A and B are shown apart, each in its own frame.
Chain A
Amino acid sequence: MSKALERLARRVESDPFFLAAALAAFQASARLDDQALAVKLGCTAEVLTRLRLCRMPAPTAPGFWDDTRHIAEHFSLDADVLAEVVRHGQGVLRLRQGESTAEAGFLMAARDGEVGTSQPPPHEDPP
């Protein structure tokens, strides 16, 4: 794996334009290191670096699901798992930005139209 790519992927963790920001927020919230995050996503460290450099998925449906599916297919990831991680990370980022607590429920509301399942969405406590 290119050291330069790894460095760039780290650098853009502070830039909400990139998926790296949501992944870093999720890692911090879930207290996962890079290896654990890669295991959760079902990818290698190299793929994780490339994943970080993707554009952040749109914050709301349907763009969120379209983007997440696109990314998952590109890297052969489980779209549901990726969506869960990204949504969690985006939620953490919003909270850090000082959004109103009323919006914390979006984590549950955004479960409508979950990718690839016909089961009811699992319960998730708002952060």
Chain B
Amino acid sequence: MTAAPDLPSDEDALLLHARLTRGEPTAPSVLAVAYLDHLIDWLSRHNRSADPDFCAEAADEAIVALIKNPASYSPSRSTLAAYLRMSAQGDLRNILAREGRHWAGRRPLDGVELSPHAGKYLAEGDDPSLPVLLEEAAEAARSAIPPTFLESLNEGERRVFDLMAQAERRTSAYAAALGIDHLPAEQQRAEVKRVRDRLEKRLDRAVGSKHDEQGP
């Protein structure tokens, strides 16, 4: 795998922006090559709880938006790199909000009540608005979850559900929540999968029962 090239200097960035503005056909490609990987890396480091695919999608949207509307960037206000980071961060917030609305509108197989301590899974340097966005997303799904189901969860299962609501992908995070992070990695994976699968089936049954009670 080749290493990402260094970011263009501020002067080169201005020249590239001018080429974009003039409509040079190769400028979009040069911009994407120069900034995409760095943007994804920056988003991932500053939003550790966010799904990596969402970070990549946000970076794509920021790059494409600038390509199609170069006038959106004003060189007098910031560097091109800083502008793209700000734009991508905004796109990531929109994506997370969209996912929250999506959860609210569908039968939640992974939906879960977010614990009051939503921020505890954030890493240092994360976007401080992320807990709020994740809380809003979980709130949107909460109404579709039967209270009896939530009440039936033990403490470990509640923590696992918190993580599933945040679209957490790391096994280590789930293992820590279950208190099994001292076990070998393979055992952690197997146990985490077992707990998640069991919770999804129980939620499926619980939501299915709720729909049956409510009728067509």
Contact = CB atoms under 8 A, between A and B. Distances in A.
A57 B64 contact: no
A29 to B, nearest CB: 22
A11 interface: yes
B159 to A, nearest CB: 32
A71 B64 CA distance: 19
A70 B28 CA distance: 13
A8 B29 contact: no
Contacts, number: 58
Contact of B37 (A2, A17, A75): A2
A17 B33 CA distance: 17
Given A8-B60, A17-B68, A50-B33, A2 B2 contact: yes
Given A8-B36, A8-B63, A54 B4 contact: no
Contacts of A12: 64
Interface residues of A, number: 25
Which of the listed residues A11, A15, A53 has the most CB atoms from chain B within 10 Å of its own CB?
A53
B27 interface: yes
A51 B36 contact: no
Place the interface of chain B in its size category. Answer: 20 to 34
B116 interface: no
- The secondary-structure label for the interface of chain B is helix
A107 to B, nearest CB: 21
A14 B67 CA distance: 16
A54 B29 contact: yes
B59 interface: yes
Given A11-B60, A12-B64, A17-B68, A4 B36 contact: yes
A109 interface: no
Contacts of A19: 25
Which of B25, B32, B56, B63 has the largest number of chain A CB atoms within 10 A? B25
7 contacts: A1-B2, A4-B37, A5-B32, A17-B67, A53-B28, A54-B26, A75-B26
Interface of A: 1-2, 4-5, 7-8, 11-12, 15, 17-19, 50-57, 67, 70-71, 74-75
Given A55-B25, A67-B25, 20 more contacts: A2-B33, A2-B37, A4-B36, A5-B32, A5-B36, A5-B37, A11-B60, A17-B67, A17-B68, A18-B28, A50-B33, A53-B28, A53-B33, A54-B26, A54-B29, A55-B27, A70-B24, A71-B25, A71-B26, A75-B26
